[in-house]
Amino acid sequence: QVQLVESGGGLVQAGGSLRLSCAASGRAFSTYTMGWFRQPPGKDREFVAGISRGGGGTDYADSVKGRFTISRDNAKNTVYLQMNNLKPDDTAVYYCAARSRQYFTARPQDYDYWGQGTQVTVSS
């Protein structure tokens, strides 16, 4: 069981950067694979990035690879998403998600716990 709270969203101009944080409540954070998803206006929720339990394995959507970096600090029960070179198409509500199984996936339905989301708006 884990509770997730995202923070760090906001309004930025194209080319700018943001770092999102996801704080987890609970004592079993290191047993969860973690993911970031986003939902643009009028579209379905989509995978952004995933990270393994220890942080050594990561995966990214093609649309963000090279621009976004996912990381985690298990001592602080926190996962991060560093977003650089932001584009207007990155505008979305960003969600942190936790999966109780070893392997992360790109399917939202495979994740067990979700944060409330944080809005990221990128202006042109």
Average pLDDT, the chain: 95
Distance CA(63)–CA(43), nearest Å, equals 15
Least confident of 40-44, 50-54, 98-102: 98-102
**Is 54 in contact with 33 (CB distance < 8 Å)?**
no
**Is 31 in contact with 113 (CB distance < 8 Å)?**
no
pLDDT digits (tens, 9 = 90+) for 54-103: 999 999 999 999 999 999 999 999 999 999 999 999 999 999 999 998 87
pLDDT digits (tens, 9 = 90+) for 81-90: 999 999 999 9
Token digits of residue 111: 């994740």
pLDDT digits (tens, 9 = 90+) for 13-27: 999 999 999 999 977
Give the per-residue pLDDT at 28.
86
